[in-house]
Amino acid sequence: MKFFSRLVCRLLIASIALLPFSVQAGMIGTDQVVASAAAQANRDKVRDFVARADVAKQLETLGLSATNAQERVNAMTQEEVNKVAGKIDALPAGADNDGWWWAAGVIVVALIIWYFWK
* Mean pLDDT of the 49-62 span: 85
Distance set, CA 64 to CA 51, 55, 108 (Å): 12, 11, 44
pLDDT in tens, 26-35: 888 888 888 8
Alpha-carbon distance 87 to 50, whole Å?
Answer: 13
Q: What is the pLDDT of residue 96?
A: 53
Query: Which residue pairs, CB below 8 angstroms and at least 24 apart, start in 47-54?
Result: 47/73, 49/88
pLDDT in tens, 59-116: 888 888 888 888 888 888 888 888 888 888 777 765 555 556 666 777 777 777 777 7
Domain boundaries of the chain, sorted by first residue: 31-91
Q: What is the pLDDT of residue 35?
A: 87
Contact 4, 12 (CB under 8 A): no
Q: What is the pLDDT of residue 88?
A: 83
Alpha-carbon distance 80 to 75, whole Å?
Answer: 10
